[in-house]
Amino acid sequence: MTIEVGARIPSVTINVLDDGIQAVSTDEIFSGRKVVLFSVPGAFTPTCSAKHLPGYVEKFAQFRERGVEVACMAVNDGHVMKAWAKDQNVPAGLIMLADGNANFARALGLEMDATAYGMGVRSRRFALYAEDGVVRTLNVEAPGEFKVSSAENMLGSLG
């Protein structure tokens, strides 16, 4: 079942790039904070690398000015996420989450089967805004689209 507005972010252990790769509970990431989490089907994939992550890198300061943390998630291992962050010039403070086994994507009900493309189980492309671990906005993309989960759209939804 897909997470809904008003629901609490599920408690899952996920790898975070923070002075290396650290296993952290999603409770630590979301509790007591305002967080925009966006998820991509895969690091280094075309739309993810050309538009999705770069949009959040470009708008990162605007989120921070509003007191909002930004987290990027992909079903990739921590080493791939680290290389992608370096390649994309991700600023310090933008949280990179490596959901290697898709445990968080599954817990959110936002996993997808991309085996037909040789990618296995991945996360759907989405963005959500949560306050103190409770989802306030949820934007899930239709297959093959990139509109509602963009940095521009999420900034606009914050008011």
Give the active site residues. 48
For residues 40 and 74, the answer to whether their CB atoms sit within 8 Å is yes
Residue 14 CB: number of other CB atoms within 10 A? 23
DSSP states along the chain: ----TTPBPP--EEEEESSSEEEEEHHHHHTTSEEEEEEES-TT-HHIIIIIHHHHHHHHHHHHHTT-EEEEEESS-HHHHHHHHHHTTPPTTSEEEE-TTSHHHHHHT-EEE-GGGT--EEEPSEEEEEETTEEEEEEEPPTT--STTSHHHHHHHT-
